[in-house]
Amino acid sequence: MKRKQKFLMAAFVLTLSLLLAACGGDKNADNGKQSGENDGGKKDYGIKFLTIASGGTGGTYYPLGGTFATLIGDATGIEANSITSNASAENMASIQKEDVEVAFTQTDIATYATEGTNMFEEKIDNVQGLGTLYPETIQIVALKGSGIETVADLKGKTVSVGEAGSGTRANAEQILEMYDMSVEDVKARNLSFDDSSTGLQDGTIDAAFITAGTPTGAVEGLSATKDVIIVPLDNDKIEALIEKYPYYAKETIPEGTYGADHEVETVAVQAMLVVRSDLTEDLVYDMTKAIFENTDKIGHAKGELIKTENALNGMGIDIHPGAQKYFDEKGVKAE
């Protein structure tokens, strides 16, 4: 009888030990999982899909958008994709409607959106900056032999001033203003970059305003078959424009661009990425890191201009805490 009791007691102790070991193993397994991770070992950012609003296929946003989607997807495990759009102003509206999570825009358009001015009837209050990227050059494109050599020559001509409500349209209005003109002084057409290129090629328009990083795909395509010129801005007009609208900066288009044999003086705003303010700090931090630490993987020429140390310059709107955390770690300050 005593032997049986000893046997039962030993069995009980052994069973209890196994149970405690199993519990301890489960606890250690849980502790081995990083905070915020899901069962797949990836962080749980609260979303599984992410959409980047870029621009038209003839601009610079479109190819960059595809690259950024790949970089973000590889870094986070989120299914990221880039979609075409009418660019800056439409992208800000898409952020407001929560149709997209990330968007390209111009710094001037981002400012208008958060202030509820210009083409925005109300403030967009759910957007924050991720980082500025590179200069968006205002290019007034015409064909050689068109008789258009100065901005003043645009008067009475058929001119694409950008799509309705676009950043390009706002740039055209402000530059024409410096020359005591308005869009009513030209035969204005609201065309995309690709349609502007086609219009110049077939002669249905005389000139086009195009705001994009140079070289711009649509203009490069045109210059392959036609001799193009970029109409320069006069220095005094550039100074007056910057004084009234401080988000502009003087910009020089290098010799050789589109086959030109000389430099062209014009102005630029900054391209930037914005995000919805409800995205988590972890997600935006990892997105920012993925982009700015992999610029060597950007095939477009503008990749050389996208630098961490410049990413806060000219932003003009509040930065997302996740992006701010990354730039703080890098010691980046706005100039």
DSSP 319: B
For residue 20, the model assigns a pLDDT of: 40
What CATH number labels 136-269?
A: 3.40.190.10
Contacts of 313 by beta carbon, 8 Å cutoff, 6+ apart: 132, 270, 334, 335
Q: Which CA distances in Å does 249 have to 113, 149, 233, 270?
A: 20, 22, 12, 9
Chain segment 288-316, per-residue pLDDT in tens: 999 999 999 999 888 999 999 999 988 88
Instruction: Answer whether residue 44 shows pLDDT above 50.
Output: yes
Please tell me the predicted confidence (pLDDT) of residue 142: 98
d(CA 23, CA 25): 5
pLDDT at 282: 98
Cα Dmax for the chain: 117
CATH number, domain 49-133+272-329, options 3.40.50.970, 3.40.190.10, 3.90.420.10, 1.20.20.10: 3.40.190.10
Conformational region of residue 36, where left means phi above 0, alpha means psi within -120 to 50, and beta covers everything else:
left
Alpha carbon distance 133, 93 (integer Å): 20
Instruction: Give the tens place of pLDDT for each residue, 184-231.
Output: 999 999 999 999 999 999 999 999 999 988 888 899 999 999 999 999
| Predicted confidence (pLDDT) at residue 37 exceeds the cutoff of 60 | no
The DSSP element (H or E) to which 167 belongs, if any, is helix 167-178
Question: How does residue 258 score in pLDDT terms, banded at 50, 70 and 90?
Answer: very high
CATH 3.40.190.10 positions along the chain are 49-133+272-329, 136-269
Higher pLDDT, 275 or 25: 275
pLDDT value of position 92: 96
Give the mean model confidence (pLDDT) for residues 264-283. Answer: 97
CA angle in degrees (0–180, nearest 5) for 216-219-224: 120
pLDDT value of residue 41: 53
SS3 of 14-78: the string is HHHHHHHHHHHHHHHHHHHCCCCECCCCCECCCCCEEEEECCCCCCCHHHHHHHHHHHHHHHHCC
Considering the entire predicted model, what is its pTM?
0.74
Q: Give, in degrees to the nearest 5, the angle at Cα 74 between 70 and 79.
A: 70
Task: Give the C-alpha separation, 177 to 207, whole Å.
Answer: 17
